[in-house]
Chains A and B, each alone.
Chain A
Amino acid sequence: MKKYIVPVLFAIVAGVSARAEDIITFWVRDSDQAIVDPLVKAYNARGGTNVKLSVIPAMQFVTKFATSIAGGSPPDVVAIDLIYVPAFSKAGQMTDLTVQAKALPFFDKLSPSHIRLAAYEGKLYAVPFSAEASVLVYNTDLFTKAGLDSKHPPANFAEIEQDAQKITSLGADTKGFYFSGSCAGCNVFTMLPLVWASGGDILSEDGKTATVDNNAVRSTLSLYRKMWEAGYIPQAAQGDNGTNFFTGFATGKVGMAGLGAFAIGLLKEKYPNIHFDVAPLPGQNGGSASFAGGDSIGIPKGSKKVKEAWEFIQWCLQDDTQVNEFAKHGSIPVRTDIAESAYAKLDPRYVVVAKAMATGKTPYSTKYNELLNDPNGPWLGMVQTAVFGKGVDEAVKEAQEKFTKILGAK
């Protein structure tokens, strides 16, 4: 028996290292799964380096990713929610990609929001991967039934309230509005733009000061609270931690909801009976805004396959990949030079989203997770207190304090 050990070990080691040459590990969050599965398949079909995909639930993504870096075994490539790039760049955990990125021919056509968030102290630590923008999705059938003009979506808060009321009065469990009451990220995506469109913000431009206490925030929270108290929102919304972020609207019994481009593809594919249209998210007195989101892709420090990883990233950004993989599966291309043309052919509703993204905003903060995405953090706390709890004033005061405390800490 003993004499076999050495050759067997050798074979195993040889086999493992041979395979190791060809494989780069790639982590994405589950929200991207629909586009990434075919994307990786297409890349692997080309031969050469193989990409091994790992899909991590969005809620655990930051923890798992940071722990893997701290533990010394990070993935070779990672597609991370663009809002986290500042934090990881600051911690020195991403490879500097400035040189490679700037060498790309279409560099200045890459999504501005992504690039802005990928920059830290003058260097670039990631490039755009997938793009999302938030918009208001509304059920045209319900609009018509309620006597509303389905070509005239609400353009300010008063109209949102009115439309919600008319739809709710259709009865039979039909409700005017939906949002995920226990999901921090969902509301940053869909509620915060209302604040922006109303002329306010919760963070200063450099992300270092909390500006929670302002009228735009108050009126947005009041809008939601009024709709909740009047019963225009389904009861189940309060406890929804994001699991029903999309299906809340897809029940067909909800008039309006803040969603993103992903919803367009999903609705068309899985819920063809729901007739819908999209509109920009309005401000209190008109105007509109959007959360420019999505993922950026980068190479964690500690990856031993930087060259292969960059090859993969570059392939993702090419023209035909953008059109055939991203656009085809419903994701907005991150290249503004192709975005509109790619989409115009697919579905006019995408154009609304693409326009929204081009003018969309993204908060920049190295404390993003703690402040805004954490289910136990002050942003969600403020929303919940304002809408379901003690009230808007109390909520805003508490949030301003908590935000400031977190921003003040190192």
Chain B
Amino acid sequence: MQTIERELVAGTRWSRRRVSPGFLYVLPSLLFVVVFFLIPLAMVIWMSLHDWPLLGEPAYTGLDNYAALLGDSTFWDGLWFTTKYTILVTPPIFICAYILAHLVNSKMRWVGLFRTIYFLPVVIGLGTSSLLWVWLFNDQVGFFSFILSHLGVIKEPVLTTPNTSLAGVIVMVVWKTVGFTMVLLLVGMQAIPTELYEAAKIDGATWWPIQFFITIPLLRRTIALALIISVVGSFLAFDQFFIMTGGGPNNSTVTVVYWIYRASFTYFKLGYGSALSLLLMVILTAISVLQLVVLREPETY
């Protein structure tokens, strides 16, 4: 590094301006981040202090939006629902991912094929996947509805009652995202030295204790990472609810981001939408920090 710098300082015009070339390389990215991220971030705070209609002139209202937020029962219901959804969807994803990671962590033939198949839904995109499953759950032409009603599991269309529509969305999300978590766990698993397993087996340990005492603790960091990604992703859910349930039935599946979208683009209250956005950011930061603290790796082995 020193060599280049010296050479550049000696040989180029930049030395006269004393702007580090490194900075110039980084500058374009910085510009993007400033224009499309930092400025909007500052604007969110500014806009949340206004009544800012989509069509019309903004008016300064101070903390009125926040006061309204406190009394907005639909928002709090939405926040509660988002939390409930996150809590309900995360365990299935992780349990399935864990099992799948184990299955493909063997050296049998075609394990690569299985791993590919399990991962494939991840690249489909949440929007497209939602559209696919809305069709599968459709009570007239959907295969899943057909099978489920024949098995007597459901009597009404899946996406019409609060509990079954949530269950349906969760099934779709698990299908679509488990591959990603599976690979993260797989990578972690493959880093565990096999000697540990050999030693445990010699000591007579069976499958479950091995998992509990060896694999999971050693995967702690990977699980923590996967957990943070998954939880934040679940909290930001929008596509699946917008497409599959439309927030219904009767507002029971509206998530926080959905509410922000509605506030800003259906009710055209950009100021209020900004206040909601700010609150979302605060909550997300709190969740991430909480997770990092709770899952922090103790000094082990």
Which chain A residues have a beta carbon within 8 Å of chain B's beta carbons?
59, 62-63, 66-67, 69-70, 88, 91-93, 182, 235-236, 238-241, 369-370, 374-376, 380-381, 384-385, 389, 410
| A389 CB contacts on chain B under 8 angstroms | 250
- The reply on B248 being an interface residue by CB < 8 A is yes
Inter-chain contact B55/A70, CB cutoff 8 Å: yes
- The reply on B239 being an interface residue by CB < 8 A is no
Residue among A92, A236, A376, A385 making CB contact with B157, cutoff 8 Å: A236
Inter-chain contact B265/A381, CB cutoff 8 Å: no
Inter-chain contact A66/B250, CB cutoff 8 Å: no
- The reply on B74 being an interface residue by CB < 8 A is yes
* Nearest CB of chain B from residue A183's CB, rounded to whole Å: 10
Binary interface profile of B, 233-274, with partner A (CB < 8 Å = 1, else 0)?
000000000000011111100100000001001111000000
Residue among A92, A375, A385 making CB contact with B248, cutoff 8 Å: A375
**Closest 8 A-B residue pairs measured CB to CB?**
A239-B160, A91-B55, A384-B250, A70-B54, A376-B251, A63-B265, A239-B157, A376-B247
| A240 CB contacts on chain B under 8 angstroms | 160
Question: Which residue of A has the minimal Cβ distance to B165?
Answer: A239
Interchain CA distance A64-B139 in the complex, whole Å: 29
| B246 CB contacts on chain A under 8 angstroms | 59, 241, 375
Inter-chain contact A384/B157, CB cutoff 8 Å: no
Question: Which residue of B has the minimal Cβ distance to A71?
Answer: B54
16 contacts between A and B (CB under 8 A): A70-B54, A91-B56, A92-B56, A93-B55, A182-B249, A235-B155, A238-B156, A238-B160, A238-B161, A239-B161, A239-B249, A241-B246, A370-B267, A374-B266, A384-B249, A410-B51
* Nearest CB of chain B from residue A321's CB, rounded to whole Å: 31
Inter-chain contact B159/A376, CB cutoff 8 Å: no
CB under 8 Å from chain A, chain B span 51-85? 51, 53-56, 74
Residue among A70, A92, A376, A384 making CB contact with B262, cutoff 8 Å: A376
Interchain CA distance A389-B53 in the complex, whole Å: 34
Interchain CA distance A301-B249 in the complex, whole Å: 36
CB under 8 Å from chain A, chain B span 7-57? 51, 53-56
Interchain CA distance A389-B250 in the complex, whole Å: 10
A239-B56 contact given A66-B268, A182-B249, A381-B251, CB 8 Å threshold: no
Which chain B residues have a beta carbon within 8 Å of chain A's beta carbons?
51, 53-56, 74, 139, 155-157, 159-161, 246-251, 254, 262, 265-268
Interchain CA distance A389-B251 in the complex, whole Å: 13
Inter-chain contact A381/B250, CB cutoff 8 Å: yes
Interchain CA distance A239-B265 in the complex, whole Å: 24
Residue among A67, A93, A241, A376 making CB contact with B254, cutoff 8 Å: A376
| A93 CB contacts on chain B under 8 angstroms | 55
Inter-chain contact B266/A369, CB cutoff 8 Å: yes
| A238 CB contacts on chain B under 8 angstroms | 156, 160-161, 249
Since A238-B161, A369-B266, A369-B267 are in contact, a sample of 19 more A-B pairs with Cβ atoms closer than 8 Å, ordered by chain A residue number, is: A59-B246, A62-B266, A66-B54, A66-B265, A88-B55, A91-B55, A182-B249, A235-B155, A235-B156, A236-B156, A238-B249, A239-B160, A239-B248, A374-B266, A376-B248, A381-B251, A384-B249, A389-B250, A410-B51
| B265 CB contacts on chain A under 8 angstroms | 63, 66-67
* Nearest CB of chain B from residue A237's CB, rounded to whole Å: 9
Question: Which residue of A has the minimal Cβ distance to B59?
Answer: A410
Interchain CA distance A90-B137 in the complex, whole Å: 42
Residue among A63, A241, A380 making CB contact with B266, cutoff 8 Å: A63
Interchain CA distance A182-B155 in the complex, whole Å: 18
* Nearest CB of chain B from residue A75's CB, rounded to whole Å: 15
* Nearest CB of chain B from residue A375's CB, rounded to whole Å: 6
Inter-chain contact B160/A182, CB cutoff 8 Å: yes
A67-B251 contact given A236-B139, A236-B156, A376-B262, CB 8 Å threshold: no
Question: Which residue of A has the minimal Cβ distance to B51?
Answer: A410
Inter-chain contact B248/A182, CB cutoff 8 Å: yes
A385-B55 contact given A235-B155, A369-B266, CB 8 Å threshold: no
Inter-chain contact A92/B250, CB cutoff 8 Å: no
| A241 CB contacts on chain B under 8 angstroms | 246, 248
Inter-chain contact B54/A385, CB cutoff 8 Å: no
A91-B155 contact given A376-B254, A380-B250, CB 8 Å threshold: no
| B249 CB contacts on chain A under 8 angstroms | 182, 238-239, 384
Question: Which residue of B has the minimal Cβ distance to A88?
Answer: B55
A67-B247 contact given A236-B139, A236-B157, A239-B156, CB 8 Å threshold: no
Question: Which residue of B has the minimal Cβ distance to A383?
Answer: B250
Interchain CA distance A236-B149 in the complex, whole Å: 13
| B74 CB contacts on chain A under 8 angstroms | 376
Inter-chain contact B55/A66, CB cutoff 8 Å: yes
* Nearest CB of chain B from residue A391's CB, rounded to whole Å: 14
Interchain CA distance A240-B55 in the complex, whole Å: 32
Interchain CA distance A66-B265 in the complex, whole Å: 8
Interchain CA distance A376-B265 in the complex, whole Å: 14
| B160 CB contacts on chain A under 8 angstroms | 182, 236, 238-240
Question: Which residue of B has the minimal Cβ distance to A241?
Answer: B246
| A374 CB contacts on chain B under 8 angstroms | 266
* Nearest CB of chain A from residue B251's CB, rounded to whole Å: 5
| B161 CB contacts on chain A under 8 angstroms | 238-239
Question: Which residue of A has the minimal Cβ distance to B71?
Answer: A405
| A66 CB contacts on chain B under 8 angstroms | 54-55, 265, 268
Interchain CA distance A282-B265 in the complex, whole Å: 37
| B156 CB contacts on chain A under 8 angstroms | 235-236, 238-239
